[in-house]
Amino acid sequence: MNDAKRVIVALDYPDQLSALSMADQLDPEKCRVKVGKELFTRAGPEVVEALHKKGFDVFLDLKFHDIPNTTAKAVRAAAEMGVWMVNVHASGGRRMMEAARNELDQVNGARTFLIAVTVLTSMERQDLADIGMDIEPLEHVKRLALLTQNSGLDGVVCSAQEVAPLRQIVAPEFQLVTPGIRPADAEVGDQKRIMTPGEAIGAGSTHLVIGRPITRAALPVEALQRIENEILAAR
């Protein structure tokens, strides 16, 4: 694991210009970037291509959740763009995830990581109850992580709070990608299941997805540097 690239900066911007101007302040040798629903819906594949030209590994975070055929073809389209990582929702089920895995394996030369979202880090027990699930987030995350692994995917998105228990039940190479990262002095916002960068690395997160604590900081580069220092100290 290249420790210098543990951080994935979420480029949650409403236009390509803002996203690329943030990217220009980052070093592709030190971090990766994430393109999510807002930016991709506004700017499309062009922004992914522009980030690739700048040398960044791109996590295309579109969280596909549809019938198996539609999801598989969307994953293929992402892989054909050459993204480093793409994701689906694990709650789409085994057949959906297997179809996505099989389709991805047919893309020549692509080595795109395919992972699945378990329970969104913005959700807590009450949110699961609201959608008819009487279960602790951790229990549901464990169940979905095992289903994801058994469906042949490379890892999951989960909270860093779940990393230590998940490490007990998944393979060592299974990736645990964790958003909901908040430095001690950062605003929590809409996230619920959070951890600091140091705690997340200490727990065994493979990659930390961090957006607003960097992109909305008065000095984003300095904010990222503080996070990198915290990560180094926690190793």
Contact call for residue 92 and ligand LLZGTKA7 (CB under 6 A): no
Is 37 tagged catalytic? no
Which residue, 59 or 109, has its beta carbon nearer to ligand LLZGTKA7?
59
62 annotated ligand binder:
yes
Q: How many Å separate Cα 30 from the centre of its chain?
A: 17
Residues 158-197 binding ligand LLZGTKA7 (CB under 6 A) are: 179-180, 191
Determine whether the annotation assigns residue 197 to a binding site: no
CA 207 to CA 195: how far, in whole Å? 13
Residue with tokens 């700017």: 43
Q: Does 12 bind ligand LLZGTKA7 (CB under 6 A)?
A: yes
* Count of chain residues binding ligand LLZGTKA7 (CB under 6 A): 15
- Is 105 annotated to bind ligand? no
Ligand-binding annotation for 101, yes or no, is no
* Distances in whole angstroms, Cα of residue 170 to Cα of each of 45, 94, 141, 150: 33, 17, 12, 10
- Complex with ligand LLZGTKA7: residue 68 or 213, whichever CB lies closer: 213
63 is known as an active-site residue: yes
Contact 136, 115 (CB under 8 A): no
Cβ contact 108:95 at 8 Å:
no
List the catalytic residues. 61, 63, 66
